[in-house]
Amino acid sequence: MNLYTTELRRLRKRRFVRYLTLAGLLVLVAVAVGMFFTNQKIGPAQVASAERAADREYQQNIEFAQQHRQECEKAKAAGNAPEGAFPEDCSLIQPPPREVFRSEWHLPATFEFRDEFAGMLTAFTAVLALVAFIAGASFVGAEWSTGGMMNLLLWRPQRIRVLLTKLGALLSALFGVTVVAAAAWTAAFWATATYRGSTERMTSGVWQSIGLTGLRGLTLVLVAGALGFGLASLGRHTALALGGVLGVMVVGQFGLGIVLGMAQVKFVEVWLLPTYLLAWMDKKVTLRNFDACQASFSGECRPATFDITWQNSSILLAVSLVLVLGAAIWSMRRRDIT
C-alpha cells in the first residue's frame, strides 16, 4: 500500500482535524456573512440621507453656538462669568462653517473590493494558519502519544522517509483546503462588493496584487502547518507545540513588549512576531516613534520611522522552518523509538 495515500487517509479520518477544520471554515463563513449584511451599496437615496444628516448636525451646532453666546452675554452683564469659561468678546462664539460637516461621515458602510479585500485576505490567512498549526501538531503528536508511530515504523522502518511522507501528506491537504477556501472567500466578497459595495477600478494590476497577497497567505498557512508538525514531532507530543507557541506569545511577546517599553527601547514592535507576519502579508509595515522628532525643512516635527518588509519576514520564516524541521529530522534519526 502506498505510504503517502495511507497518510492522507489517516489525516482525513482524524476527527479532531475534521472538527478543527470545520470550526475554522465556520468562522470564515460567519465573517463573510457578517460583512455582507453590515455593508450596503451607496446610491442617490443614501447620499441624500447623508446630506440631510450633515445639515441636521450643522443646525444643531448653530443652535448650540447661539445658546452659548447668550449665556456668555448674560454672564458678562451680571459680572459673574467664570474665569476661562467664555471669550472676552461674546460675538466670537460662532458655529463652524457648513463645509466642516461632510456628508461622507454619515454614509453607511460599503465594501470597496479594491481597497478592502486585501485586509480580508489577511484575516482569512490568520484563521487558516492557526488551524494549520494545530492540525499539523495534532496529526503527528497523536501518532507519538498513541503508539501509532512505533507500529508504523515496524511496517516501514525508514524513519526519515516516514516522517517526511507524513509532512508531505499534511502540506498537500493544507494546500488543497486553502486553495478551495480562498476561491470561495474571493467569490463571497466579490458578491458582497457587487450587491453591497463596489467592484470599480479593478484593473489587471490590482488582480495581480491580490493574487500575490493570496500566494503569500498560502505560503504562511503551509509554514504554520509545518512548524506545528515539526514542534510536535520534536517533543513527540501535541502539547509541546501548543505550549511552546503559548509561551512564545504570552512570555516572549507580551512580556517582552512590556519590558522593552519600560526600557524605552525605540521601535518595540521590531522585536514582536506579529509585526513580521503583518509585514509578510502587507509587503511592508512602517513603524513610527513619536518620541523622536525629525525636523523637516518646513519646520514640521515628524516621527522617526522604521520599515519592515516582506523580505525581512521571509528570512525569519525560512530560518524558523529550517531550524524546527531540521531539529525534528535530527531527533527522528538519533533518538530511540520507544
Q: Which residues does residue 307 pair with via DSSP β-bridges, in sequence order?
A: 286
Measured between alpha carbons, how far is 310 from 215 in angstroms, rounded to an integer? Answer: 13
Measured between alpha carbons, how far is 253 from 125 in angstroms, rounded to an integer? Answer: 20
Residue appearing with cell numbers 459595495: 197
Which parts of the chain sit beneath pLDDT 70?
1, 142, 144-158, 236-262, 291-301, 334-338
- In this predicted model, what pLDDT tens digit does every residue of 135-185 receive, in sequence order? 988 888 767 666 556 655 555 566 788 888 889 999 999 999 999 999 999
Query: If you ran DSSP here, which 8-state letter would residue 254 be given?
Result: I
Number of alpha helices (DSSP H) and beta strands (DSSP E) in the chain: 11, 4
Measured between alpha carbons, how far is 177 from 292 in angstroms, rounded to an integer? Answer: 46
Measured between alpha carbons, how far is 250 from 165 in angstroms, rounded to an integer? Answer: 33
- In this predicted model, what pLDDT tens digit does every residue of 198-218 receive, in sequence order? 999 899 999 999 999 999 999
